[in-house]
Amino acid sequence: MSETVSVEEFEKTLRKDRERITGRMAAILPPPEEPPETLHQAMRYSSLEGGKRLRGLLCLWSHRMFGDPHPSASLDAACALEFLHAYTLIHDDLPSLDNDDTRRGKPSCHIKFGVALSILAGDALQALAFETLSACPCPEPVNLITSVNILAAAAGSKMLVGGQAADLEGEGKTPREETVQFIHSRKTAELISASLAIGAALALGDSPSVSRLQDVGRDVGLAFQIVDDLLDEEGEEITVGKSLRKDLKRGKITWPACYGVKKSRENAGFLIGKSAARIRDFGDRGLLDRLFHLILDRAS
Amino acid sequence: MSETVSVEEFEKTLRKDRERITGRMAAILPPPEEPPETLHQAMRYSSLEGGKRLRGLLCLWSHRMFGDPHPSASLDAACALEFLHAYTLIHDDLPSLDNDDTRRGKPSCHIKFGVALSILAGDALQALAFETLSACPCPEPVNLITSVNILAAAAGSKMLVGGQAADLEGEGKTPREETVQFIHSRKTAELISASLAIGAALALGDSPSVSRLQDVGRDVGLAFQIVDDLLDEEGEEITVGKSLRKDLKRGKITWPACYGVKKSRENAGFLIGKSAARIRDFGDRGLLDRLFHLILDRAS
């Protein structure tokens, strides 16, 4: 790896690392025949198939900018981030929340397994995220504790869950800039920020580097959510893999509803440009740099 | 404190330590006026009022058997255990799970705040448990990581959530001994076991001591759940503080349904007797010893 990578090299590594993350997740998750079987089947159904593994890749490739000193630790941390993300998707899709029947191109967890089991599968995936992260083979326990604390804070009521609650409460209200900023910076950006920061912390990166990557992650995460809003408004259902125009139907406060489509594209571009510039000091930044651009230009 | 404490001393310390735990929980929880306000109000509503703080007390007093070396760490860990417990109660009470309208003598979280916000409040309390534990002032990061890992494993699909899933799936089925053992050892005993083990781990207790307390906690926790089943069958609603005869109405698999009331009382007594004997090697065991007996003889 190096400061720049070719498109071919990037795509090959993307495919390979996605498979590594998914393979490791499958090994960590309890097997489908372990009791309670349906619970474990629901956890596997909602976490193993069809994900982009964006958070996992950000963790792996952030770690790689520091010379990839503990690849097994960063791989397990990548799985922990994906387990946490999978739990949020299961709970977000529930009838009393976003009431979404489709996820990653298939029936949502509660359509397949029922509401009760989906609540439990989400709960267990959150616990599994912390179990996996706290057991990951990092030689420096202080950095491991830091990583657990970053993940827990990102997942909590001031961040991820807080953003989801504000998103729900905002439905049907007049879109205001400060509201959409509150929601987006919490419900999406903070876990993406944690992904970059944990990759760095497990590489024993110094505290200013971890903090800088945490900041960069907030910008990348915000750009990701702005593009998500744009895809919901302009995308093709078959490509994106989930129900679209849901934001409009539910009266969600979105970035384009506040700033318009043109300004939203400009904002996303600006955030990614700034982020790419802020990782210039790191050596092997080629993969991350291309991933940032993919977040901007993605079609799903 | 010492090997034995008087009833008066025990009751005074019980009250004082319950207040200390609740006071510290109130300080850790985001204030009710912090946005999203309703989310934080729901989290405070369901965790601050009316709890027995059994898990927190077990952690504090297990720590105290080792000379109470890091009282602030054990207090924060006690809060983490209570946050985790509070989340499980919110989710258990949901309409699609146990559908319970009353908890700790007041309306359940979803009756007061609605289903969506209750799911989110539970999710956020689980994250807060890990955030609190990972930030607790223990001077030895290895022991802190061990504690996080014990809590996460206890909370996961093989233990707490697995027990809850098996409990749901067992409704209406013929009560079988191996089923009730599977359910009770998971849905209740494991978090009580974690409480004792974490108190010891944060006191830098050696590995055999931590393991022994983990085992003792499994027995105490099983006894606790057996007594809970007996209270559901024989208790007074006004004293117990939650809806009763629910097990029967929902066709739950309970200990008395498998073993009968007399045998259940005998089992609970046996488990507590064994547990009291197994902490005899520790010095300041007086509080814990009385607490074990209180678990057996409690009326709520």
Q: pLDDT tens digit string along A2-33?
A: 678 999 999 999 999 999 999 999 999 999 99
**Residue B3 reports pLDDT greater than 70:** yes
Please give the structure tokens belonging to residue B83. 């946050």
Residue A15 counted as domain residue: yes
- Determine, yes or no, domain membership for A240: yes
Angle CA(B258)–CA(B263)–CA(B267) in degrees, nearest 5?
100
Residues A162, B124: C-beta atoms closer than 8 Å: yes
Question: Against a cut of 0.80, is the pTM above it?
Answer: yes
Do B242 and B100 form a contact (C-beta atoms < 8 A)? yes
Is residue A2 situated within a structural domain?
no
CB-CB under 8 Å, A120 with B134: no
Tokens at residue B232, please?
A: 């559901």
Q: Note whether residue B215 is domain-resident.
A: yes
Q: Is the peptide bond prior to B175 cis by the omega test (within 30 degrees of 0)?
A: no
Rounded CA-CA distance B32/B255 in Å is 40
Q: Where does the pLDDT of residue B27 fall: very low under 50, low under 70, confident under 90, or very high at 90 and above?
A: very high
Tokens linked to B168: 């749901």
What CATH number should be reported for the domain holding residue B248?
1.10.600.10
Q: What percentage of chain A exceeds 70 in pLDDT?
A: 96
| Number of domains composing chain B | 1
ipTM surpasses 0.90: yes
pLDDT in tens, B201-215: 999 999 999 999 999
Distance CA B25, CA B23 (A): 5
Strand segments, DSSP code E, in B105-219 are 106-107
Q: What is the distance, to the nearest Å, from the Cα of residue B283 to the centroid of all Cα atoms in its chain?
A: 24
Identify which of B135, B157, B164 has the shortest CB distance to residue A128: B157
Q: Please indicate, yes or no, if residue B1 is contained in any of the structural domains.
A: no
- Shortest Cα distance from B9 to chain A (angstroms)? 37
A137 touches chain B (CB under 8 A): no
Q: Give contacts of B148 with chain A, Cβ < 8 Å.
A: 130, 134, 145, 148
Virtual torsion, Cα A127, A131, A136, A139, nearest 10 deg? 120
- Structural domain including B43 reads 7-294
Residue that is written with structure tokens 């209200």 in the block: A173
Q: Is residue B2 domain-resident?
A: no
- Chain A residues lying within 8 Å of B94, measured CB to CB: 116, 119
Helix H, strand E, coil C: the string for B235-246 is CCHHHHCCCCCH
Query: Which pLDDT score, from 0 to 100, does residue B47 have?
Result: 97
Tokens coding B282: 């520790």
CA B115 to chain centre: 23
| B60 occurs within a structural domain | yes
pLDDT of amino acid A109: 97
Give how far the C-alpha of residue B18 lies from the chain's centroid of Cα atoms, to the nearest Å: 13
Using pLDDT thresholds of 50, 70 and 90, give the confidence band for residue B41: very high
Instruction: Decide if A1 is inside a domain.
Output: no
Predicted confidence band of residue B160 (pLDDT cuts 50, 70, 90): very high
